[in-house]
Amino acid sequence: MGGRTEFFGPVVREPNEPVFHTRWEGLVFGMALFVVTLLGRNIDAFRFAMERLPREVYLSGYYTRWLAALESHLVREGYLNPGEVDARVAGRASLAGARHISRMRLTATSRMVSFLLRPQFPQWLAAQLLPRLVGTSRPTLRGPRFAVGDRVRVGDHRTAGHTRRPGYVAGKPGVVVAHLGSTAFPDAHAVGRLARPQHLYTVSFPTSDLWGDGAEPAAEICVDLYEAYLEPV
Protein backbone atom coordinates (compact mmCIF):
# COMPACT_ATOMS: atom_id res chain seq x y z
CA MET A 1 0.00 0.00 0.00
CA GLY A 2 2.99 2.29 -0.44
CA GLY A 3 3.60 2.54 3.29
CA ARG A 4 0.48 4.64 3.92
CA THR A 5 -0.18 4.71 7.67
CA GLU A 6 -3.95 4.31 7.27
CA PHE A 7 -3.35 0.83 5.84
CA PHE A 8 -1.04 -0.46 8.57
CA GLY A 9 -2.27 -3.52 10.42
CA PRO A 10 -1.71 -7.24 10.88
CA VAL A 11 -1.39 -9.44 7.83
CA VAL A 12 -4.20 -12.00 7.83
CA ARG A 13 -2.81 -15.43 6.96
CA GLU A 14 -5.05 -17.91 5.22
CA PRO A 15 -4.07 -21.56 5.95
CA ASN A 16 -3.60 -23.62 2.76
CA GLU A 17 -4.35 -20.57 0.64
CA PRO A 18 -4.90 -21.50 -3.03
CA VAL A 19 -2.95 -19.81 -5.81
CA PHE A 20 -6.22 -18.34 -7.13
CA HIS A 21 -9.46 -18.15 -5.16
CA THR A 22 -11.64 -18.08 -8.27
CA ARG A 23 -11.14 -18.90 -11.94
CA TRP A 24 -11.39 -15.26 -13.05
CA GLU A 25 -8.34 -14.36 -10.95
CA GLY A 26 -6.27 -16.87 -12.91
CA LEU A 27 -7.63 -15.49 -16.17
CA VAL A 28 -6.65 -11.94 -15.18
CA PHE A 29 -3.16 -13.13 -14.23
CA GLY A 30 -2.76 -14.72 -17.67
CA MET A 31 -4.17 -11.65 -19.42
CA ALA A 32 -1.72 -9.38 -17.59
CA LEU A 33 1.27 -11.49 -18.59
CA PHE A 34 0.12 -11.56 -22.20
CA VAL A 35 -0.97 -7.92 -22.62
CA VAL A 36 2.08 -6.40 -20.89
CA THR A 37 4.32 -8.50 -23.14
CA LEU A 38 2.25 -7.69 -26.23
CA LEU A 39 2.43 -3.94 -25.63
CA GLY A 40 6.14 -4.03 -24.87
CA ARG A 41 5.60 -2.77 -21.33
CA ASN A 42 7.28 -3.86 -18.08
CA ILE A 43 6.21 -4.84 -14.60
CA ASP A 44 7.14 -1.43 -13.16
CA ALA A 45 4.94 0.40 -15.68
CA PHE A 46 2.12 -2.02 -14.82
CA ARG A 47 2.51 -1.34 -11.09
CA PHE A 48 2.53 2.41 -11.75
CA ALA A 49 -0.70 2.05 -13.74
CA MET A 50 -2.32 0.40 -10.70
CA GLU A 51 -1.08 3.15 -8.39
CA ARG A 52 -2.80 5.79 -10.54
CA LEU A 53 -6.22 4.12 -10.32
CA PRO A 54 -8.99 5.87 -8.36
CA ARG A 55 -8.88 4.99 -4.68
CA GLU A 56 -12.15 3.04 -4.73
CA VAL A 57 -10.92 0.91 -7.65
CA TYR A 58 -7.49 0.29 -6.14
CA LEU A 59 -8.98 -0.85 -2.83
CA SER A 60 -11.69 -3.04 -4.41
CA GLY A 61 -9.46 -6.12 -4.63
CA TYR A 62 -6.06 -7.39 -5.75
CA TYR A 63 -6.92 -8.81 -9.16
CA THR A 64 -9.63 -6.20 -9.66
CA ARG A 65 -6.94 -3.53 -9.79
CA TRP A 66 -4.84 -5.75 -12.09
CA LEU A 67 -7.78 -5.83 -14.51
CA ALA A 68 -8.36 -2.08 -14.20
CA ALA A 69 -4.67 -1.39 -14.87
CA LEU A 70 -4.81 -3.54 -18.01
CA GLU A 71 -7.83 -1.62 -19.25
CA SER A 72 -6.13 1.72 -18.57
CA HIS A 73 -3.06 0.55 -20.52
CA LEU A 74 -5.21 -0.43 -23.51
CA VAL A 75 -7.17 2.84 -23.39
CA ARG A 76 -3.98 4.91 -23.12
CA GLU A 77 -2.48 3.12 -26.13
CA GLY A 78 -5.65 3.55 -28.21
CA TYR A 79 -6.67 -0.12 -28.44
CA LEU A 80 -9.80 0.57 -26.38
CA ASN A 81 -12.00 3.64 -26.21
CA PRO A 82 -12.82 5.05 -22.75
CA GLY A 83 -15.93 3.26 -21.47
CA GLU A 84 -15.82 0.65 -24.23
CA VAL A 85 -15.51 -2.32 -21.87
CA ASP A 86 -18.34 -1.10 -19.61
CA ALA A 87 -20.57 -0.56 -22.65
CA ARG A 88 -19.95 -4.05 -23.99
CA VAL A 89 -20.55 -5.64 -20.58
CA ALA A 90 -23.87 -3.78 -20.40
CA GLY A 91 -24.77 -4.90 -23.91
CA ARG A 92 -24.62 -1.41 -25.38
CA ALA A 93 -23.06 -0.49 -28.70
CA SER A 94 -19.66 1.14 -28.46
CA LEU A 95 -17.03 2.38 -30.86
CA ALA A 96 -13.91 0.24 -30.81
CA GLY A 97 -10.47 1.71 -30.25
CA ALA A 98 -8.69 2.96 -33.33
CA ARG A 99 -5.52 0.88 -32.97
CA HIS A 100 -5.30 -2.80 -33.79
CA ILE A 101 -2.63 -5.47 -33.42
CA SER A 102 -1.73 -7.70 -36.33
CA ARG A 103 -2.58 -11.39 -36.16
CA MET A 104 1.10 -12.17 -36.73
CA ARG A 105 2.12 -10.20 -33.65
CA LEU A 106 -0.61 -11.81 -31.55
CA THR A 107 0.52 -15.29 -32.63
CA ALA A 108 4.20 -14.55 -32.01
CA THR A 109 3.52 -13.14 -28.53
CA SER A 110 1.26 -16.06 -27.65
CA ARG A 111 3.90 -18.60 -28.61
CA MET A 112 6.63 -16.74 -26.74
CA VAL A 113 4.57 -16.51 -23.54
CA SER A 114 3.58 -20.19 -23.76
CA PHE A 115 7.22 -21.12 -24.23
CA LEU A 116 8.37 -19.10 -21.22
CA LEU A 117 5.65 -20.59 -19.01
CA ARG A 118 6.88 -24.14 -19.60
CA PRO A 119 10.62 -23.74 -20.12
CA GLN A 120 13.20 -26.48 -20.27
CA PHE A 121 16.45 -24.55 -20.08
CA PRO A 122 19.95 -25.45 -18.89
CA GLN A 123 20.53 -24.20 -15.36
CA TRP A 124 23.22 -21.70 -16.38
CA LEU A 125 20.94 -20.13 -18.99
CA ALA A 126 18.01 -19.80 -16.59
CA ALA A 127 20.22 -18.34 -13.85
CA GLN A 128 22.48 -16.04 -15.87
CA LEU A 129 20.93 -15.12 -19.22
CA LEU A 130 17.15 -15.09 -18.84
CA PRO A 131 17.08 -12.54 -15.97
CA ARG A 132 18.78 -10.07 -18.32
CA LEU A 133 16.69 -10.92 -21.39
CA VAL A 134 13.19 -11.08 -19.88
CA GLY A 135 13.81 -9.78 -16.37
CA THR A 136 15.27 -6.60 -14.90
CA SER A 137 18.79 -7.80 -14.03
CA ARG A 138 21.32 -5.37 -15.52
CA PRO A 139 25.14 -5.27 -15.31
CA THR A 140 26.90 -2.15 -14.07
CA LEU A 141 30.56 -1.09 -13.97
CA ARG A 142 30.05 0.72 -10.67
CA GLY A 143 30.83 -1.26 -7.55
CA PRO A 144 28.29 -1.38 -4.71
CA ARG A 145 28.41 1.57 -2.33
CA PHE A 146 27.43 -0.53 0.68
CA ALA A 147 28.53 -3.90 2.06
CA VAL A 148 26.87 -6.45 4.30
CA GLY A 149 26.98 -5.14 7.86
CA ASP A 150 26.90 -1.44 6.92
CA ARG A 151 24.48 0.77 8.79
CA VAL A 152 22.34 2.88 6.50
CA ARG A 153 19.40 5.24 6.64
CA VAL A 154 16.55 5.37 4.12
CA GLY A 155 16.03 8.77 2.54
CA ASP A 156 12.77 10.46 3.48
CA HIS A 157 12.27 12.61 0.38
CA ARG A 158 8.82 12.31 -1.18
CA THR A 159 8.29 11.27 -4.77
CA ALA A 160 5.26 11.92 -6.95
CA GLY A 161 5.94 9.00 -9.27
CA HIS A 162 6.44 5.28 -8.90
CA THR A 163 8.84 4.01 -6.25
CA ARG A 164 9.68 0.68 -4.62
CA ARG A 165 10.60 2.37 -1.34
CA PRO A 166 7.88 1.68 1.24
CA GLY A 167 6.85 4.82 3.06
CA TYR A 168 7.08 3.14 6.48
CA VAL A 169 10.88 2.80 6.20
CA ALA A 170 11.48 6.39 5.03
CA GLY A 171 13.95 8.10 7.36
CA LYS A 172 14.56 4.89 9.34
CA PRO A 173 17.99 3.36 10.13
CA GLY A 174 18.79 -0.24 9.24
CA VAL A 175 21.57 -2.71 8.51
CA VAL A 176 22.49 -4.17 5.13
CA VAL A 177 22.19 -7.97 5.36
CA ALA A 178 22.56 -8.90 1.66
CA HIS A 179 23.65 -7.50 -1.70
CA LEU A 180 21.39 -8.74 -4.51
CA GLY A 181 23.29 -7.50 -7.56
CA SER A 182 22.21 -4.70 -9.90
CA THR A 183 18.94 -4.22 -11.76
CA ALA A 184 17.02 -1.67 -13.78
CA PHE A 185 15.87 1.16 -11.50
CA PRO A 186 12.07 0.79 -11.20
CA ASP A 187 11.42 4.49 -10.50
CA ALA A 188 12.77 5.26 -13.99
CA HIS A 189 11.78 1.96 -15.64
CA ALA A 190 8.09 2.58 -14.88
CA VAL A 191 7.97 5.72 -17.02
CA GLY A 192 10.43 4.71 -19.75
CA ARG A 193 13.16 7.03 -18.47
CA LEU A 194 16.76 5.97 -18.96
CA ALA A 195 18.74 5.55 -15.76
CA ARG A 196 21.85 3.63 -14.87
CA PRO A 197 21.30 0.27 -13.14
CA GLN A 198 21.07 0.37 -9.37
CA HIS A 199 22.57 -1.98 -6.81
CA LEU A 200 19.88 -3.67 -4.75
CA TYR A 201 20.27 -4.57 -1.07
CA THR A 202 18.28 -6.32 1.61
CA VAL A 203 18.11 -4.07 4.68
CA SER A 204 16.98 -5.23 8.11
CA PHE A 205 14.96 -3.00 10.43
CA PRO A 206 13.95 -3.75 14.05
CA THR A 207 10.18 -3.53 14.19
CA SER A 208 10.41 -1.28 17.25
CA ASP A 209 12.25 1.32 15.12
CA LEU A 210 9.42 1.24 12.58
CA TRP A 211 6.32 1.09 14.77
CA GLY A 212 7.45 1.84 18.31
CA ASP A 213 6.20 0.03 21.40
CA GLY A 214 3.16 -1.36 19.59
CA ALA A 215 5.31 -3.52 17.30
CA GLU A 216 5.80 -7.25 17.66
CA PRO A 217 8.72 -7.58 20.11
CA ALA A 218 12.13 -8.96 19.15
CA ALA A 219 11.25 -9.05 15.45
CA GLU A 220 12.74 -7.57 12.32
CA ILE A 221 11.50 -6.55 8.89
CA CYS A 222 13.74 -7.12 5.86
CA VAL A 223 13.13 -4.86 2.86
CA ASP A 224 14.83 -4.92 -0.55
CA LEU A 225 15.95 -1.35 -1.27
CA TYR A 226 17.83 0.31 -4.13
CA GLU A 227 21.07 2.19 -3.58
CA ALA A 228 19.47 5.49 -4.56
CA TYR A 229 17.15 5.18 -1.56
CA LEU A 230 19.98 4.75 0.97
CA GLU A 231 22.52 6.97 2.68
CA PRO A 232 25.34 6.01 5.06
CA VAL A 233 24.94 6.47 8.80
d(CA 37, CA 46): 11
Query: Greater confidence, 41 or 14?
Result: 14
Is residue 33 within 8 A of residue 115, CB to CB? The reply is no
Within 10 angstroms of residue 129's Cβ, the number of other Cβ atoms is 14
The most confident of 72-76, 99-103, 229-233, by mean pLDDT: 229-233
Q: Is 199 helix (H, G, I), strand (E, B) or coil?
A: strand
Q: Exposed e or buried b for every residue in 92-113, given b needs 16+ CB within 10 A?
A: eebeeeeeeeeeeeeeebeeee
- Quote the pLDDT of residue 43: 87
What CATH class is the domain 5-118? mainly alpha
d(CA 165, CA 186): 10
- Quote the pLDDT of residue 109: 85
Query: Considering the chain, what is the average pLDDT of its residues?
Result: 88
Overall average pLDDT of the 71-88 stretch: 89
Helix (H) / strand (E) element for 117: namely helix 103-117
Is residue 218 within 8 A of residue 206, CB to CB? The reply is no
- Quote the pLDDT of residue 116: 73
d(CA 184, CA 194): 9
- Quote the pLDDT of residue 68: 94
Cα 39 to Cα 74, 163, 220: the distances in Å are 9, 22, 39
Indicate whether 147 pLDDT > 80: yes
* Residue 136: closest CA among 39, 46, 49, 229: 46
The most confident of 25-29, 55-59, 99-103, 129-133, by mean pLDDT: 25-29
pLDDT tens figures, 91-140? 998 888 888 888 898 888 888 888 777 777 788 877 777 777 777 888 89
CATH number of 151-232: 2.30.30.50
Phi/psi of residue 129, each to 5°?
-95, -45
Phi/psi of residue 27, each to 5°?
-65, -40
State the pLDDT confidence band at 33, using cuts at 50, 70 and 90: confident
Helix (H) / strand (E) element for 177: namely strand 173-183
Overall average pLDDT of the 66-93 stretch: 90
**What is the residue extent of each domain of the chain?**
5-118, 151-232
pLDDT tens figures, 190-228? 888 888 999 999 999 999 998 888 788 889 999 999 999
- Quote the pLDDT of residue 96: 83
